[in-house]
Amino acid sequence: MGNNKYMENYTIDNTTRTNLLPVIPLRGKVAFPNTNVLFEVGREMTLKAVNRANATADRLVFICTQKVTEKDEITANDMYSVGCVARIKQASQLNGGAIRVLCEGLYRARAREITVADGHFSAVCDELKIKRGDEVLEEAYFRTAKALVKDVLGVDGKISKDVALKLDTCHDAEEYMNVALSAMRVRLEIKQQSLEKTDVIERLKLFEKCLNDELEISKIEKKITMTVRQNIDKSQKEYYLREQMKAIHTELGEDGKEEDEFREKVKAKCLPADLEEKCLKEIDRMEKMQPSSPEYNVISGYLEQVLALPWTEETVDTEKLEDCIAVLDSDHYGLEKIKERIVEYLAVLKLTGNMKAPILCFVGPPGVGKTSIANSIARALNRKFVRMSLGGVKDEAEIRGHRRTYIGAMPGRIIYGMKNAGSINPVFLLDEIDKITSDMHGDPASALLEALDPEQNTTFRDRYLETPYDLSKVLFITTANSLDTIPAPLRDRMEIIELSGYTIEEKTEIAKRYLVPKQLKANGLLEKHAEFSDEVLRFVVEGYTREAGVRTLERTVGGICRKIAVKHAKNKRTAKVKLTKEKVETMLGAPKFTIDEAFLRPQVGAVNGLAWTVVGGTTLTVETTVMRGKGEIRLTGKLGEVMKESAQTALSYIRAHAEEYGIDSAVFAENDLHIHVPEGATPKDGPSAGITMATAILSVLTDRKVRGDVAMTGEITLRGKVLPIGGLKEKALAGRRVGIKTIIIPKGNEKDLEQLPEAVRKEIRFIPVEQVEEVFNVALCDKEDEPKQKRVSSVARSGVSDVRCRN
């Protein structure tokens, strides 16, 4: 039976009905008594109102009209207070969660006050009683109104037979106006004014004025329609005359040259049979058109695009694998996974003679060489290279093109890129695929599904071409900084190859092999003008750059080269500049990045954590303090929901084991904990800081310092288990940059240590742990007066060596 609250009546007098009802605000419609109103609801509050009404016996609702149609989020002030009490006759569920509702209008009512209850609008509604005056005067206005309605329908005629029959058989003025207004095209404001009037004669006057206005509007619309029809007849006449003129020109032999050229090109192009037939038909259409016709130019542009595309033309791949490897090695240092995959593809292609090209996705921080290696791959394979930037693309037509029916229609950027390549097997780079957005014009990521699926891209269909195009021989390479923003169906179609940041040794070697020669040439210098030693390059890497890639390093080397270029420009006989650390500091200023000794000192409540970002790894310090309060925990530093939950989990673990660590349980009730992660303007999220926050909390509650040369990463559970994390290499490189000597990692990530560079594994001690207690044993310093029994036993169980702090 539902909630009885919505079935009770409130009585003002013996004649007025008053109900507490759910409220349904309509957009662009006014509900009248004596009529049926059909509408769809999709907003959450309106759906709840419909469901609430359906749960009652009488299924009554109060339907009012929204003042501003376009507004989605509304309040009580956005609705008219006068509406119609109606009964829900039918409610049907639609796709997407919407409901189609059919209601029968019962009587007009005014809402005393619209409020929000149980997640929907509701109001106490008082029935508006009809006021009737002079019967003779009312009948006179009624007859006039009926005559005007017939005149309006005679001109307009846009009304159903059922409504027309109901109007003919209706003899009550009030009911007649309700039916007529609900069916006619009348402005929303007029309908609402009519609904609010309770005096029948006054309402008839308003109705009559409205009918006169509608009659004039209908006459003007009819006149405009006749004028348009006359213009169309005139256009047909002009077309007939042009056809006659064309026949005369044909007899004189003055046309057909362009069509003949197109026909010869189509036959010589070796197009697919169905496309060749279609092009020839288009040429036949052109012959029957005037060259000045817009359609003539559309067909001509279409044929030019088709003929400019490669259909059978392709380049010959590099014969020897050694030559391919040599080109890749000469352009890039490292990136072994990518080089190995390209060599595998070329080897299989040589053995099979034909294979579908892979769809590769290079994922890594900025500046590690994702875009440049794609260009090198094209050079190594002896193929054409096409680059298409997807950053900011939000229109599906950018990928699939526009239909030829639109003025200025063009093919999509994939077909446009193939035309520029001039071959059917180029290396096609889709740069920044993780930066694609979507809006009302469609989803470009969904449009890429067909192009990047080896099972479908043999028949890729561009809207402009309207014919299948084979992309199976194209080597598609995409690049991204993060996989999180790439839709799962699109990500599933690509072979992911991750590129990590470079170590200091790798950056030094890259600068020596590639960046220095490049910047010397760019600044008009030769090798005899400047000498960069390995020691100087390492000093530049460590002191002036702190990034995963080498873009800042290249700019810094370029700055040094410009300083040298100035010296040579002033005095052309200047001797070779042998760079030293002192000279670099003179040119660039003091080093921007140094290892902060204070950062590495033991502190209470401050723990070094490691984080992964789309631009590489970074270190973050989790700071914790305790103060008098009510047992609350405060989290600051723009932390995400997952990170906040990790803090709650860490605190719960410490509270559950407070007695083991000598913490008085009253501390949690009488004090507040404040956890802060600096750089508050930068959003932070993820579970990998769990053990870091747990260590910081235990440190501040036990007043034990945390080793400054130790960093950690790992997710914590309520039982104290340490779960695996991702991005270990990036985090390890970040720790190394700031002087971290020991990194605590989850036991589940021990297998990932093999992927770390040897230099990192030599400099940093990695301690795999399974329980958070092992983390505390390594990170927390001993108090001289602290009992050692528990610590010694736990160290024995975990196998972790006992490390003391040095102040």
**Whole-number Å distance between alpha carbons of 541 and 538:** 5
**Whole-number Å distance between alpha carbons of 30 and 184:** 12
Q: Is 711 left (phi over 0), alpha (psi -120 to 50) or beta?
A: beta
- Across-strand partners of 124? 20
> How many Å separate Cα 258 from the centre of its chain?
47
Which residues does 678 contact at the CB level (< 8 Å), separation at least 6? 620, 621, 623, 637
DSSP structure string for 43-100: SHHHHHHHHHHHTSSS-EEEEEEBSSTT-SS--GGGB-SEEEEEEEEEEEE-GGG-EE
* Token representation of residue 772: 């958070």
**Whole-number Å distance between alpha carbons of 396 and 413:** 10
Can you state the angle between helices 534-544 and 581-588, rounded to 10 degrees? Answer: 40
Largest CA distance in the chain: 116
Contact 636, 741 (CB under 8 A): no
For the four alpha carbons of 499, 502, 505 and 507, in that order, the dihedral sign comes to: positive
**Whole-number Å distance between alpha carbons of 52 and 1:** 11
From the list 362, 377, 479, the residue with the least C-alpha distance to 425 is: 377
**Whole-number Å distance between alpha carbons of 671 and 649:** 18
* H-run or E-run covering 168: helix 161-168
Contact 21, 112 (CB under 8 A): no
Length of the chain in terms of residues written? 807
The backbone torsions φ and ψ at residue 781, rounded to the nearest 5 degrees and listed phi first, read: -80, 155
Contact 450, 457 (CB under 8 A): yes
**Whole-number Å distance between alpha carbons of 5 and 19:** 10
Strands 765-769 and 742-746 come out as parallel
- Across-strand partners of 743? 711, 766
Contact 106, 33 (CB under 8 A): yes
For the four alpha carbons of 749, 751, 756 and 762, in that order, the dihedral sign comes to: positive
SS3 of residue 428 by DSSP: strand
Contact 436, 386 (CB under 8 A): no
Q: Exposed, middle or buried by CB within 10 Å (0-12, 13-18, 19+), for 754?
A: exposed
SS3 of residue 492 by DSSP: helix
SS3 of residue 208 by DSSP: helix
- Across-strand partners of 88? 103
For 688-748, list the strands marked E by DSSP.
705-706, 710-712, 715-716, 722-723, 742-746
* Catalytic (active-site) positions: 688, 731
**Whole-number Å distance between alpha carbons of 718 and 653:** 6
* Token representation of residue 474: 């194209």
**What would the 3-class secondary structure string for 535-572 be?**
HHHHHHHHHHCCCCCCHHHHHHHHHHHHHHHHHHHHCC
* H-run or E-run covering 223: helix 200-252
Which residues does 446 contact at the CB level (< 8 Å), separation at least 6? 396, 487, 489, 490
From the list 654, 763, 769, the residue with the least C-alpha distance to 722 is: 769
Contact 125, 109 (CB under 8 A): yes
